[in-house]
Structure 1
Amino acid sequence: MESKIDEVWEKLFDEYKILEKIEKHDFFSISAKEIKAKRVEPRIMTKFDSKDVLPKIFKKNHLTILPNSRGSYLIGKFDAYKDLEYKEIKPAIVHFPTWIKTFPSFQVSSEAVALNVAQMTGMIDLVLNSDGLEEGRAVSTITGRLGSGKFQYRINLHCKPRKIFEFKVNNSQVEIDGGFENLNKLAVIEAKNILPNSFIIRQLYYPYRIYQNLGSNKEIIPIFFTHVDDIYTFYIYNFSEPMNYSSIYLVKQMSFIIDENLNINIDAVKEISNSSPNKDDNDSTPFPQADNFTRILDILQRIKKPKTKEELGDEYDFDPRQGDYYGNALVYLGFAKKESSKYKLTALGEKVANLPNSNIRNKTIIEQILSNKCFNEAFKESIKCMNLDLYVIQKVMRNIFDSKYSGETIKRRSRTVKSWLSWIINIATSED
C-alpha cells in the first residue's frame, strides 16, 4: 500500500525530473519550500533514520537524501547508511547509586531517560575509559539542536565504477541526543529505544565534524546507543578518514544491565533440553524468520497494546513484512496470537512481558524455544560439537523437515535457528 510520503515523492520526482538530473549530475538539490508546496512538512518527508523506511522510489533507484543547509537537501546515490552489527553478548552488571530511588530499569521508556541512567550508573565512564586509561568522570555537555557551520566531506556513491561525491554543508540543522566530555575525550551519542537494522551515518558524522571544528585536541568518540529489553548497548564507531563520511567502522560493542546477574548455566539449559516435549511444527504457524532475538523480546513489550504488522513496522522503522515476521515469531513461541490482523499477547506472553530481563524470565523463554523439535535437536547437536555451525543446523533441519522446505528456504531459516540458539548460549554461563 502506497503511503502519503511515497505518493508525494512520486509527484516531486515526476515534476522536477529528478531521476534524469541525478543521472546527469550525480545529485539533485531540492528545497524545503518546494517540498512544503505539496502541503507536507519537509521534516516528515526527509527524515529517514533507517534505510528500511526510505520511500519506494528511493529504494528502487538506490537513492538517499541528506541536508546540505538549513533549508535544502541533496538527493543522490549516497552511501548514507550503516547496518547495525548487533551481537548477542553477555552484558556487564552495573548498579544505581544507593541514593537513587526513581529509576527501576524496566520503567525506562524514553531515550533521554535511558541516557540519564547510563550516566548515573557509570556506563558512560566505563565506555569512555574502556582502553584502560583513567580519564575522570564524564559530564553531559552539548545536547539538542544546533547549526553545523560550514564543512565539506567525501561520500561514496552506489554506482559502478565507484564514484566519490564532494558534499558541502552550510549551517545544516544538527540534533545531538547526548554529548559527554571527560579529561581527554568527547563523546557524541545517537540514542534509540529500538534495535534498528541500520542507521543514517549523518546522525553521528555531522556532530563529529562539529566537534572537530572546535579545535580541541580531545579524541572524538561517535557512539550509537540502544536501550532494548533492559539492555543498554553502546556501539563505538570511528572514521578511518575524518573527511570521508563513508569511512565509518565499528570499534567495539559494549552492553550493560542494571542489578541483574544473568547467570543461567549451560547445565540448566541441558536439563531444559532433555525434558523438552519436542513438539513438531504446527502448519498453521509459519516457521520463524526473525534473525534478531533481542528485537523479538522488545516487540513482545510493544504488543502489550495489540498491533498490526504495519503498526509494528512504523514503530520499528522497517517494512511491514518484517513486522509480520517478528509478530509471527512471537506466535510460534506461544507468546502472542493473531486476531483481526493484530498481534496480541497470550496469557503466557503477558506473564513474560511483565517480568524484567532476569533469570526467571529467561528460563521461561528458553523452555519455549527448546520445546520445538527443530530448535531442541539443533541445540543438542551444536552442544556436541561446541559450535553453532550453520551446516550442522541445516543438517538437523533437513532430517526433520525432509522435503517440506527447499534447500534455499532451509538456508534462510537456519539463520534464525542459529540466532535464537546464540541468544540462549550467550546468557548461559558457568560464572557465578
Structure 2
Amino acid sequence: MVKRTTKTIGKHLEKRKLEKWSDIVTKLDLNLNEKTNIVTAKQIKSITGEEPRLMAKIDQREDLPSIFKKHNVFILPLDRQSYAILQGKGYHTLEPMDFDGEKYLTDNPFPVSSAGIESESTYLDYAYATGLLSRFTHVDNLFLATRGRRTTPQFDFSVGGTNLSVKGAQIEIDAGYENVEQIVLVEGKIGVPNTFIIRQLYYPYRAVHSDKKSTRTIFFCYDPKEYAYLFYEYDFQSPFQYDSMKFVRSGKYNINFKPSSLRDYRVNPDKEKIRIPQADDINKIVELPFRVAEGIDTMEKMAAHFRFDKRQSSYYREASEILGLVELNRHTYSLTDKGKQYIQMPTHMRMKYFTKLLLEFPVINQVYLNLTVERDKPVTKNEIVDILKNNSELTGSTLLRRTQTILAWLKWIQRNVGLVEVSKDRVSSSRQMKLEF
C-alpha cells in the first residue's frame, strides 16, 4: 500500500472542493456555452459552503474543475463580490527550458534561517540581492518598490471578444521593482508548473501600469530539483487585451556561492550618529533616495507616496539622513554625494554599500564588533538594549521599540548579504561567512 503524503492529500481535497463548481452551474442554471456568466461570492458561499476567493483561485489549467474543462472556460474576479466565467484563452503554457543553467557566482550566502522554507519570496529576494535579477533584466539600478496584497484600481479590458470591467479585485504582487524609467513586476513560484493563469501577470500589470514608466512582467520559478532559478519575460502587446501576452525571452541560472570575508565589511564608524528613528521597514529606507531623485522631495509628498502619516515620513527621512544618503534643506529633501553614488550602483554592489552604511551606525557596529571578536557567542536582545542605553538617551518603552528597529535592520543584513543570523532574542554570526583578518 502506498502511503500518501500530506501534500498529496491536500491536493486531493482541493480537487474535490473545486468539483463543487458543477453544483453551482446546475443550481444557477448557467449556460457555459455562452461567452460570459457572472456569479457572486454570496451565491458561491451559499451553494458550496466554501470560501469564494479560494473557489475562484485556480492558478493552473490542470486544476480546472471537470465542468470548466468540458466547456473550455475559466474564471476571473471582477471585484471582491463577483466573478466572470469566460470562454477564451485564460492560461499560458510555460515554455520548456531543456538546457543547462548558466553558472552565476556570488559572495552573498543564501540565508541559513530560510533553508527548507517553501517561499517563493525568499528565493526571489535572494536572486535580487545577488544581482541575478539585474543580470536577467539588464537593469542594474532596480529597487524593491512594492509587494503583498492590494486591490486593483478600475480598468477595462477584453478577453476572447468579451469586454469586462474590474474594480477592487484582490491581487498579490510577489515583487515589484523600479528604477527611474522602468517597473519590473515578478510573479514567483516554487517548482515549475506546466501552465499558469495569465491573470497573475495581467492584473498586477494593469494595477501599476502608467505612461510615466514602461512596465515589464516576469514569471519566476525556483526549481528545487535542479537548484535552478528560472525567469520568463512576457509582454502585453495591448494593455487593454488580456490575451495579448507574448513570450519575450527566458533565462536559467544556477547560483554558486563563494564566501567572502568579514574583513570586506570593516568600517570606520561615526560616533556622532546616535539618533535612532523608528524606521523598521528598511526597504523603505533603501527606496527613499530613489524617490527623492524622482522629485518626491518633501515630507508631505513622501507621506503620500508611502501612505503613512507625516511623522512616519520624518522617521524614514531621518534614517536615510543618518546613513548619509539624503539631507534636509528648508523642508526639501535632496541627495547627498553618497546618495547620488548609491542610486547609480548595480544591485549587488548597492546591497553591500548599504550594509556598510548600516555598520557605521554605532549600535549596529557594536553588535558587529562583538560578533567578530567572539564569533561563537551570540549577541542577545538584552545586550542590544544595553548598547542602546550607552549610545542614546532612550528609556522605557521607547528603548524597547528602538531595539526592535535595530533587530529589523540586522534582519535586512541577514537576508541581503548574510553576515548575521537573527532570531527573536539574539543575533549570531553567519555560519557561511569566513572570518579573516
Report TM bin, short chain. Answer: 0.5 to 0.7
* Structure 2 counterpart of 1:13, from 16, 21, 25: 25
C-alpha distance in structure 2 between counterparts of 1:7 and 1:102, whole Å: 40
Alignment correspondent of 2:151: 147
Alignment correspondent of 1:122: 131
Q: Which amino acid aligns with 1:211?
A: V
Alignment correspondent of 1:217: 212
Alignment correspondent of 2:418: none
C-alpha distance in structure 2 between counterparts of 1:138 and 1:29, whole Å: 40
1:113-160 deviation digits (Å, cap 9, x = unpaired): 01111111111111221xxxxx5421111111111110011112xxxx
SS in 2 for 1:5: helix
Alignment correspondent of 1:362: none
Q: Which amino acid aligns with 2:153?
A: G
SS in 1 for 2:240: coil
Q: 1:195-274 alignment to 2 at 5 Å?
A: 195-212=192-209, 215-228=210-223, 229-259=226-256
CA 1:89–1:104: 2 relative to 1, 3 Å: farther
Q: Which amino acid aligns with 1:119?
A: Y
Report whether the alignment pairs 1:184 with 2:181.
yes
C-alpha distance in structure 2 between counterparts of 1:242 and 1:145, whole Å: 22
C-alpha distance in structure 2 between counterparts of 1:67 and 1:117, whole Å: 32
Alignment correspondent of 2:142: 138
Query: Are the equivalent residues in 1 in contact too, given 2:151–2:170 (CA < 8 A)?
Result: yes
CA 1:36–1:144: 2 relative to 1, 3 Å: same
Report whether the alignment pairs 1:168 with 2:177.
no
The TM-score, its normalising length taken from structure 2, stands at 0.52
Q: Structure 2: 5+ residue runs without aligned partners?
A: 1-11, 259-437
1:383-414 deviation digits (Å, cap 9, x = unpaired): xxxxxxxxxxxxxxxxxxxxxxxxxxxxxxxx
C-alpha distance in structure 2 between counterparts of 1:108 and 1:117, whole Å: 13
Q: Which amino acid aligns with 1:221?
A: R
Q: Which amino acid aligns with 1:58?
A: F
Report whether the alignment pairs 1:53 with 2:48.
no
Q: Which amino acid aligns with 1:53?
A: D
C-alpha distance in structure 1 between counterparts of 2:127 and 2:16, whole Å: 38
Say which one has the larger Rg.
2
1:96 positional shift: 3.3
Query: Are the equivalent residues in 1 in contact too, given 2:33–2:71 (CA < 8 A)?
Result: no
1:106 positional shift: 7.3
C-alpha distance in structure 2 between counterparts of 1:103 and 1:121, whole Å: 15
1:260 positional shift: 7.6
Q: 1:9-408 alignment to 2 at 5 Å?
A: 9-19=21-31, 22-24=32-34, 26-37=35-46, 38-98=48-108, 100=109, 102-103=111-112, 107=116, 109-129=118-138, 135-156=139-160, 164-212=161-209, 215-228=210-223, 229-259=226-256
C-alpha distance in structure 1 between counterparts of 2:19 and 2:239, whole Å: 37
Alignment correspondent of 1:368: none
CA 1:30–1:186: 2 relative to 1, 3 Å: same
SS in 1 for 2:106: coil
Alignment correspondent of 1:354: none
1:66-119 deviation digits (Å, cap 9, x = unpaired): 001111100121311000012223322223335x46359975632010111111
C-alpha distance in structure 1 between counterparts of 2:203 and 2:237, whole Å: 15
CA 1:7–1:234: 2 relative to 1, 3 Å: closer
Q: Which amino acid aligns with 1:29?
A: I
Q: Structure 1: 5+ residue runs without aligned partners?
A: 130-134, 157-163, 262-432
1:6 positional shift: 4.5
C-alpha distance in structure 1 between counterparts of 2:101 and 2:88, whole Å: 35
C-alpha distance in structure 2 between counterparts of 1:205 and 1:79, whole Å: 13
1:226-247 deviation digits (Å, cap 9, x = unpaired): 0002100100000112211111
C-alpha distance in structure 1 between counterparts of 2:130 and 2:110, whole Å: 13
Query: Are the equivalent residues in 2 in contact too, given 1:154–1:166 (CA < 8 A)?
Result: yes
CA 1:106–1:145: 2 relative to 1, 3 Å: closer
Query: Are the equivalent residues in 2 in contact too, given 1:94–1:121 (CA < 8 A)?
Result: no
SS in 2 for 1:18: coil
SS in 1 for 2:201: helix
1:207-239 deviation digits (Å, cap 9, x = unpaired): 111111xx3422211000000021001000001
C-alpha distance in structure 2 between counterparts of 1:67 and 1:139, whole Å: 30
1:353-399 deviation digits (Å, cap 9, x = unpaired): xxxxxxxxxxxxxxxxxxxxxxxxxxxxxxxxxxxxxxxxxxxxxxx
Query: Are the equivalent residues in 2 in contact too, given 1:106–1:230 (CA < 8 A)?
Result: no
Q: Which amino acid aligns with 1:219?
A: S
Q: Report sequence identity in percent.
A: 31
